[in-house]
Chain A
Amino acid sequence: KAGVTQTPRYLIKTRGQQVTLSCSPISGHRSVSWYQQTPGQGLQFLFEYFSETQRNKGNFPGRFSGRQFSNSRSEMNVSTLELGDSALYLCASSLEDRGNPTFGSGTRLTVV
């Protein structure tokens, strides 16, 4: 059974650019959540989706957005990148709403 797949694994972007990160959940999982991990702030919640509906949103500026498709795959987008957006972005999926999350390996974003 394939795990949670996040693409790309590594990304380098320039300040002011935008970026889209992708997450493919475990087959059959309908809930997807996103977290940002930085050395200073730790793991912070970004979004949570269930069956294409956003259930929760973390305390991040509007430059951070996300969506979930009908096949449960999810994307998150960050516009007008800032140096502080450099982080490991982790996606997790679960079978049911607010179930046991299984995490992917993350996308490491570096903004220069």
Chain B
Amino acid sequence: AQKVTQAQTEISVVEKEDVTLDCVYETRDTTYYLFWYKQPPSGELVFLIRRNSFDEQNEISGRYSWNFQKSTSSFNFTITASQVVDSAVYFCALRAGNTPLVFGKGTRLSVIA
């Protein structure tokens, strides 16, 4: 069975601080995909990144970066110099084999001005 754990329920930081959101996954499949989504108050899940299990290269996109480590089954997300607009709930998700997306419980990030 597939499982995603986001141990941090809520995080609060002051603007311009860096923050890392943790994601640990479980799967027996060797081929799988990992995702991060952002959910602002409007409710829509906004796609941020997809990583496949064969690509362990870290990714940087502006202030966002992702660290994928198969050895620890982790796919952590870092926001550098956080801004108030980053306040949202962030979800990590896993898709493996023929199963649908499995989501973690989410981490609510509050960035205070």
Q: Which of A's residues lie within 8 Å of B, judged by CB?
A: 33, 35, 42-43, 45, 48, 55-56, 58, 88, 90, 92, 98, 100-106, 108
Contact = CB atoms under 8 A, between A and B. Distances in A.
Contact of B100 (A42, A48, A102, A103): A48
B60 interface: no
Given A42-B106, A98-B95, A103-B37, A58 B100 contact: yes
Interface of B: 37, 42-47, 50, 91, 95, 98-106
A98 B104 CA distance: 19
A60 B47 CA distance: 26
A93 to B, nearest CB: 12
A112 to B, nearest CB: 20
Contacts of B46: 103
8 contacts: A35-B103, A42-B103, A42-B105, A43-B91, A43-B106, A55-B98, A56-B100, A98-B98
A105 B103 contact: no
Main secondary structure, interface of B, reads: loop
A56 to B, nearest CB: 5
A33 B45 contact: no
**Which 7 residue pairs are nearest across A and B when measured between Cβ atoms?**
A103-B45, A43-B103, A105-B44, A45-B100, A106-B43, A42-B105, A56-B100
B98 to A, nearest CB: 7
Contacts of B104: 42
B44 A103 contact: yes
Q: Which of A33, A43, A48, A92 has the most CB of B within 10 A?
A: A43
Given A42-B105, A42-B106, A43-B103, A56 B98 contact: yes
A98 B99 CA distance: 9
A45 B101 contact: yes
